[in-house]
Amino acid sequence: MFYPEELENVFCGSVNGTYQRWDVKMLQDSCRTDHGFNQDSQAIQFLYEILSTYTREEQRLFLQFVTGSPRLPTGGFKSLTPPLTIVRKTLDANQNPNDYLPSVMTCVNYLKLPEYSSREVMRQKLKMAANEGSMSFHLS
């Protein structure tokens, strides 16, 4: 027999689990890159560096944005199924990536990331997308 809290932990991930900072190595091992990015891409390095500085609340907002759930499954980031996949957001040649927010496909843990000009621009755009877009649905 399970207590309701135990079942919630198994099916939904830990509610009150200890905060664990995401480090770059764990993110490299847990995330996939595709469609224009690889693990050595500057944008991917920026992303991992930014995510590794996130507080618990920022982690929850990011997870809600990219997966539709504010917490990781039991087992952590490496247990996301499917794994978080980060791809380059396709823009026309005359479009400035800095003018666009990242977008997601939450059903498959898919992050479409523009190739921003700097780490700081990426940090701002991720924050805006997570704060403003995590509770809405749009086709991208």
Which helix (H) or strand (E) covers residue 57, if one does?
helix 56-67
Q: Which of 1, 19, 99, 107 is catalytic?
A: 107
In angstroms, the Cα distances linking 22 to 7, 27, 30, 52, 53 are 25, 7, 11, 5, 8
Cis check for the bond before 4: say yes or no (omega within 30 of 0): no
The CA-to-CA distance between both ends of the chain, in Å, stands at 44
12 in active site = no
Query: Dihedral, CA atoms, 130, 80, 140, 60, nearest 10 degrees?
Result: -10
Q: What element of type H or E holds 33?
A: strand 32-34
Catalytically active residues are 107
